[in-house]
Amino acid sequence: MDDLVETPDDGGAFPRLSEAHIAALSTCGQRRPTQEGEVLVREAERNRDFYVILAGNVAVIEGYGTDHDRLVAVHGPGRFLDEIGLLTRQPAFVSAVVRDPGEVLRVPLPALRELVSRDRKLGDEILRAFLRRRELLINAVSGIRIIGSRYSPDTRRLREFAARNRLPHTWIDLEDDDGAEALLQQLSLAPDDTPVVLWRDEHVLRNPSNADLARLTGLPVPRSAETDLVIVGAGPAGLAAAVYGASEGLATVVVDAVAAGGQAATSSHIENYLGFPAGILGAELADRAVIQAEKFGATISVPAEAVALEHHGGYHVVRLDDNTEIRTLTVVIATGARYRKLDVPRLGEFEPTSAYYAATLAEARLCGQQPVVVVGGGNSAGQATMYLSQHASEVHLLIRHDDPGRDMSRYLIDQIERNPKVDVRPHTEVRELLGHDGQLEAIVVEDNHTGARSRLDARLLFVFIGAQPCTGWLRDSLALDEHGFVRTGPDAVSPTWDGPQPNLLETSRAGVFAVGDVRSGSIKRVASAVGEGAMAVRLIHQHLARIGRSTAGIAPPAS
């Protein structure tokens, strides 16, 4: 490796710290000389320190110490190492090795956290760079390797879990990757053992559960606990409740079935959330909120699906799919909604490879400059159309009704109308999916005014046609409306109810609140979900006062 040219900054990923910031960091760190070949950060290491390079060069390498190491970046004086996983205590996905000796400043993680919570400018600079670096890392390194067939539902499950949790990963498709079988043979595995997850040639998991993959990659899995507040669902509503709950002294535990961020994290670009005039990636909003909630002491666990809400001995009990039980004084239900599926023949056949319900970087990478179809008339379909147009040769946007302006914001319609790669088709519905070997090739659509059918070439199908609430697990415990959304406030009890009236966001069970998209009558927006999450905490304090419990009656569970 002879090219020690420093990697150029990429959108704020590799800033150089100012003298003032280095001086501030020096107050809580230690300067020391480095030697050529010294490993500052080792791949897979979990508990590591923060390093600023003061002199010399450091190479960032994937697979260091193996015969297939790969240079990812080179950093020189004034730059700092690592990425968002340092703050979220995930293992490192790359190593950092001194190439040109010099000096580094080593800052222990707790001291860094303390300093950046006091120095907003420094905190912002580091956080922005860390978030951008994770995005770059997802594209630049192999990370964990998922070997499996495109037709296997478990392969898709693992790929989705990795993508939703923003884990650097590579998918090796057994169906068309010549090296896949050879790789399996090297590991003494057969195609029947797949999907297989590999990391650093050391960890081999055969068809692991999402929880196994979470453990491998350092995501925090749930534990039994007793607490003040359990929040079920870590979308915008749940994360807002976590930030307010934890910052106001409540021992707060958040569980999510899939990943933090909820639907918002499946959005490529949110442009109407207050305070972000240039828009913000849904995934970035989620990462920022997670760090903010954890800063105040909330614990967030994934994957952790709530399967029952019970009540024993004065406590609400949230039971998870792995039988973990969390006893709590109060609960916030923030489980949002899941996207509906198209009612069209052969969907199941194409779903593993060609049909998607989100448009993030992971899905965009699959477009490969081929034509794609987006179905839906709301903002999520509009955003997906704009984003995918950067990665596909053409995007056909199919809207069932006549007026694109009915459910979509004007700013999106304007952008779409100006985009030469987008073909908007109002009053059009999908009738048939065509293709071979599970691979979508074309879609037959029908003009629902004239009945005329036509064929559109399409490699991928993206569906955004409304959502249904994630409340199956609450059917026997809370009052739901006719569509399954959770009733709150006066709607939650019958007119003849003679107990205390539920508070505005309180459900039919005292001390259990519902916020965001899952709540009957809610406005389906990030801002309203966040607002309700914050409001719920105020109402929780009132509830605790009413039942005579102090707000921080229980020590927060150790994280």
- Residues lying near ligand FAD in the complex (CB under 6 A) are found at 232-238, 255-258, 262-264, 266-267, 270, 272, 305-306, 334-337, 379-380, 383, 470, 473, 516-518, 524-527, 529
As measured in angstroms, the least distance from the Cβ of 227 to ligand FAD is: 16
As measured in angstroms, the least distance from the Cβ of 424 to ligand FAD is: 18
Number of CB atoms found within 10 A of residue 69's CB: 16
Distance of alpha carbon 81 from alpha carbon 129, whole angstroms? 10
Residue type (1 letter), 347: L
Distance of alpha carbon 259 from alpha carbon 185, whole angstroms? 33
Longest dimension (CA), the chain: 80
**Nearer CB in complex with ligand FAD: 136/306:** 306
As measured in angstroms, the least distance from the Cβ of 254 to ligand FAD is: 9
Backbone angles phi, psi at 235, to 5 degrees: -80, -170
Q: At what angle do helices 109-118 and 19-26 cross, to 10 degrees?
A: 130
Distance of alpha carbon 129 from alpha carbon 82, whole angstroms? 9
**Nearer CB in complex with ligand FAD: 22/246:** 246
**Nearer CB in complex with ligand FAD: 199/387:** 387
Residue type (1 letter), 4: L
**Nearer CB in complex with ligand FAD: 58/293:** 293
Q: 460 has which bridge partners?
A: 372
Q: 322 has which bridge partners?
A: none
Distance of alpha carbon 191 from alpha carbon 176, whole angstroms? 13
DSSP assignment letter at 390: T
Task: Supply 22's token pair.
Answer: 């280095």
Distance of CA 111 to the CA centre of its chain: 27
Distances, alpha carbon 422 to alpha carbons 371, 382, 385, 410, 533, in Å: 10, 10, 7, 16, 37
DSSP assignment letter at 250: -
**Nearer CB in complex with ligand FAD: 162/518:** 518
As measured in angstroms, the least distance from the Cβ of 468 to ligand FAD is: 11
**Nearer CB in complex with ligand FAD: 61/518:** 518
As measured in angstroms, the least distance from the Cβ of 433 to ligand FAD is: 21
Distance of CA 349 to the CA centre of its chain: 26
Q: Which residue has the tokens 């730059």?
A: 79
As measured in angstroms, the least distance from the Cβ of 237 to ligand FAD is: 3
**Nearer CB in complex with ligand FAD: 144/234:** 234
Distance of alpha carbon 427 from alpha carbon 406, whole angstroms? 12
As measured in angstroms, the least distance from the Cβ of 320 to ligand FAD is: 8
Distance of CA 494 to the CA centre of its chain: 38
**Nearer CB in complex with ligand FAD: 233/404:** 233
Q: Which of 242, 175, 117, 190 is closest to 559 using CA atoms?
A: 242
As measured in angstroms, the least distance from the Cβ of 69 to ligand FAD is: 36
With beta carbons less than 8 A apart as the criterion, state whether 212 and 159 touch. Answer: no
With beta carbons less than 8 A apart as the criterion, state whether 90 and 217 touch. Answer: yes
With beta carbons less than 8 A apart as the criterion, state whether 61 and 72 touch. Answer: yes
As measured in angstroms, the least distance from the Cβ of 12 to ligand FAD is: 22
As measured in angstroms, the least distance from the Cβ of 533 to ligand FAD is: 7
As measured in angstroms, the least distance from the Cβ of 82 to ligand FAD is: 26
As measured in angstroms, the least distance from the Cβ of 386 to ligand FAD is: 11
Task: Supply 410's token pair.
Answer: 């004007």
Number of CB atoms found within 10 A of residue 214's CB: 22
**Nearer CB in complex with ligand FAD: 53/537:** 537
**Nearer CB in complex with ligand FAD: 150/316:** 316
Distance of alpha carbon 303 from alpha carbon 254, whole angstroms? 11
As measured in angstroms, the least distance from the Cβ of 508 to ligand FAD is: 18
**Nearer CB in complex with ligand FAD: 41/318:** 318
Q: Which residue has the tokens 């960091």?
A: 25
Angle CA 347–352–356, to nearest 5: 75
**Nearer CB in complex with ligand FAD: 109/317:** 317
**Nearer CB in complex with ligand FAD: 102/233:** 233
